[in-house]
Amino acid sequence: MSDDVTVLIIDNGPLKVMGGISMTDDATGQPVPGSERDPVFLCRCGGSKNKPFCDGTHSKIGFQGAMAAVEAADAAD
Ligand code: FES
């Protein structure tokens, strides 16, 4: 695992975590399978069927990150 971890917030999409991380399941205390990949893409829309990882559902449900959602609401006023 690298000391240099970078998190990129993808516009209207997941969090891209680069640099290698370790992730542990709180319930089992075991490593989360797949978390050893680099990069990993973490769901922030809540729709993934493969949480904590992104499975592309954000595109299907039209997920908008906070700024896009605020801009859309402002435009609707
Ligand atoms: S961010 Fe991609 S499925 Fe949630």
pLDDT of residue 21: 93
- Asked, for residue 17, whether it belongs to a domain, the answer is yes
**Eight-class DSSP state of 29:** -
User: Pocket residues for ligand 1 (CB within 6 Å)?
Assistant: 13-14, 43-45, 47-48, 54-58
- Asked, for residue 48, whether it belongs to a domain, the answer is yes
Query: What is the distance in A from the centroid of ligand 1 to the CA of 36?
Result: 19
Domain CATH number, residue 19: 3.40.5.90
Q: Per residue in 2-45, pLDDT tens? A: 579 999 999 999 999 999 999 999 999 999 999 999 999 999 99
- Tell me which residue range forms the domain holding 32: 6-76
Angle (CA) 24-30-35 rounded to 5° is 50
- Asked, for residue 1, whether it belongs to a domain, the answer is no
pLDDT at 56 over 70: yes
Give the span between the Cα atoms of 19 and 70, in whole angstroms.
Answer: 31
pLDDT of residue 3: 72
Number of other CB atoms surrounding residue 44 within 10 Å: 19
Q: Which position has the token pair 């990069």?
A: 39
| Domains identified in the chain, total number | 1
Q: Which position has the token pair 């039209």?
A: 62
Instruction: Please give the span between the terminal C-alpha atoms of the chain, in angstroms, as a whole number.
Output: 47
